[in-house]
């Protein structure tokens, strides 16, 4: 486990060299908010950050319903029973094992690994809502209800698996041989490219993702990655 920091954002990484999975903590004025809980072990590190900052943890919000982003939630909830857990309304159905597509969605099967255990969810949210300091930006493609969180003060974008930085920056659905899992688990690449463009339009100063290191001033690399994804060639 490693903890890295950018302004008020902490990135905790599990298995940094083998199968890196990230969890984030955003330090707000009065309290902390946590993003993604892929493995139980993150909870101890989050506890450490709570201790270090002296601020209470308020919520855990999930970028999407894949197991590697939610599997640690039941244990987390045992340790932090008072903390509210939220996910997008759309992906909350996936957690209930309802994989039916909605009318306006591309007719492609939802992919990827979903949790075997019940994930305790206290609230759902939709695009455009603010959860404390973070704006919810719908960014489907990897899953139908995947979201990103944007912190406007430092222009930090926490994009879940809409992008990956492990193995070089790539839009979800583009194969990177060094880390092929996000591609394998992506529902609809075309939708993912549209979402990637929407995220680029936010002009983030920092891009943080589910798998790989944070990227400062990511715009040029995001543009390139989108071009590659639009080219349709596997790279």
In the complex with Zn ion, the residue whose CB is nearer, 86 or 112, is 112
Q: How many binding residues for Zn ion (CB under 5 A)?
A: 3
76: Cβ contacts below 8 Å, ≥ 6 apart = 37, 40, 42, 43, 46, 60, 83, 85
Which one of 55-63, 64-72, 102-110, 190-198 is the stretch in contact with Zn ion (CB under 5 A)?
64-72
Of the candidates 220, 208, 199, the residue with the CA atom closest to the CA atom of residue 140 = 199
User: Applying CB under 5 A, does 151 fall inside the site for Zn ion?
Assistant: no
**Considering the complex, what minimum distance in angstroms separates the CB of residue 180 from Zn ion?**
12
Q: Beta-carbon neighbour count of residue 142 at 10 Å?
A: 33
In the complex with Zn ion, the residue whose CB is nearer, 68 or 151, is 68
Which one of 11-19, 66-74, 131-139, 195-203 is the stretch in contact with Zn ion (CB under 5 A)?
66-74
Residue pointed to by tokens 């900052």: 53
Identify the burial level of 61 via C-beta atoms within 10 angstroms of its C-beta, where 0-12 means exposed, 13-18 middle and 19 or more buried.
buried
Of the candidates 85, 84, 103, 102, the residue with the CA atom closest to the CA atom of residue 94 = 102
- Applying CB under 5 A, among 36, 91, 151, 161 the residue interacting with Zn ion is 161
- Applying CB under 5 A, among 27, 36, 68, 91 the residue interacting with Zn ion is 68
- Applying CB under 5 A, among 210, 222, 225, 228 the residue interacting with Zn ion is 210
Identify the burial level of 100 via C-beta atoms within 10 angstroms of its C-beta, where 0-12 means exposed, 13-18 middle and 19 or more buried.
exposed
In the complex with Zn ion, the residue whose CB is nearer, 58 or 148, is 148
**Considering the complex, what minimum distance in angstroms separates the CB of residue 31 from Zn ion?**
26
In the complex with Zn ion, the residue whose CB is nearer, 58 or 71, is 71
**Considering the complex, what minimum distance in angstroms separates the CB of residue 182 from Zn ion?**
6
34, two tokens = 């946590």
**Considering the complex, what minimum distance in angstroms separates the CB of residue 116 from Zn ion?**
16
Q: Beta-carbon neighbour count of residue 78 at 10 Å?
A: 11
Identify the burial level of 138 via C-beta atoms within 10 angstroms of its C-beta, where 0-12 means exposed, 13-18 middle and 19 or more buried.
middle
Q: What residue ranges bind Zn ion (CB under 5 A)?
A: 68, 161, 210
């Amino acid at each position: 486990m490693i903890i890295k920091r950018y302004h008020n954002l902490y990135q905790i990484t599990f298995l940094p060299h083998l199968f890196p999975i990230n969890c984030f903590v955003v330090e707000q004025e009065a309290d902390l908010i946590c993003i993604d809980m892929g493995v139980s072990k993150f909870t101890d590190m989050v506890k450490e950050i709570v201790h270090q900052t002296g601020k209470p943890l308020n919520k855990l919000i999930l970028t999407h319903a894949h197991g590697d982003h939610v599997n640690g939630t039941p244990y987390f909830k045992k340790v932090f029973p008072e903390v509210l857990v939220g996910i997008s309304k759309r992906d909350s159905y996936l957690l209930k094992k309802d994989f039916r597509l909605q009318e306006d969605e591309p007719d492609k099967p939802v992919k990827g690994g979903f949790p075997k255990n019940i994930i305790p969810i206290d609230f759902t949210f939709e695009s455009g809502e603010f959860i404390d300091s973070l704006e919810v930006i719908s960014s489907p493609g990897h899953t139908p209800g995947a979201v990103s969180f944007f912190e406007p003060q430092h222009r930090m974008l926490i994009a879940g698996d809409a992008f990956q930085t492990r193995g070089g920056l790539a839009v979800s659905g583009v194969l990177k041989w060094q880390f092929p899992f996000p591609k394998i688990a992506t529902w609809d690449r075309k939708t993912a490219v549209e979402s990637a463009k929407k995220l680029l339009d936010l002009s983030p100063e920092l891009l943080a993702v589910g798998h790989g290191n944070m990227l400062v001033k990511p715009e040029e690399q995001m543009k390139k990655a989108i071009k590659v994804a639009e080219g349709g060639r596997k790279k």
